[in-house]
Structure 1
């Protein structure tokens, strides 16, 4: 129905939809509060303060808790529909628990079929907490985007014959050669053909981005 569809798209609507069932079922008898982006800032602050002080047992929250939340006594997180989240986001979310002396547990709940791409992605996230390894996994799935410009979306690729992960060693070698060449001849005066090719390849925006480092 149109009304239900509209409600489901409202920020925080999903949290409010599942809360009654949780309070009557799995979380019965516990002190439960909600946290989502539609709450006024002072109410969000009050809720987090109560949770950190041990006055609340459970937060039913959206990804508003993804960053900037440091509650040492938070030890368990359940991520519902975990297959809908990206690798980096899941890594950020699970970093909200286990920040104190007690071990933390993050449970990734999904209806994805075992062996499906979504299942394999979650299995890879569950298998490691190494941020660098997860970043490589994220890169493999989302692609590298426009590495010669400022665009962050992975939809547009500026590399045509290379892939960052598959050709990593070749790219490292080429970077070393290029650095040595530019170090000896910054203007590429001795290599006019190369200078012309670079001028034709890099537009003004990409060149300015590269100069900024």
Structure 2
């Protein structure tokens, strides 16, 4: 009997149970363990894929950037189609509303950062939502110096009325990915998002500092 193999399997099961106990992302059975194993050890599960231009020296950086750009355009077109006859001016309207529904009241800049927009673009979106009566701005109960934007009942109603179309657009983006592939994709994109969002926040904070200095000088 191969006791080393048994020991390795037991250790993997123990890791799976410990990690899944906190996040509960997988079912506590062999199917859940298999999905976790594929995501936790992707280098062991599949051989390297091929891509257009690989033989001529096209880099992984290049193809990843191209594919992410294309996916962003696909997602935008699905969202546009889903809300074509709706009251939303763009997909940013319902994305901001979903953020407020999911997280709750926050400052304008917190909402803008959460959706990775430039300050000027984000302010335009928020002001449009306020004019439509879907969002309101109130003084924070914890800090009277701070104003929070929050979802109104009218905004919640409008969002709920269009959630079926929004969900259809989201499902279209996922396409033919299996559940295991979706979990792996979430893990990879979350890692990338965490890396890039920290850089985005630094750039945004630097711009805010420059704006403050400019106002003082003028």
* TM-score, L = length of structure 1: 0.25
Determine which structure has the larger helix proportion and give its number.
2
Name the structure, 1 or 2, with higher relative contact order (CA <8 Å, separation 6+).
2
* TM-score, L = length of structure 2: 0.25
Report which of the two structures shows the higher radius of gyration computed on alpha carbons.
Answer: 1
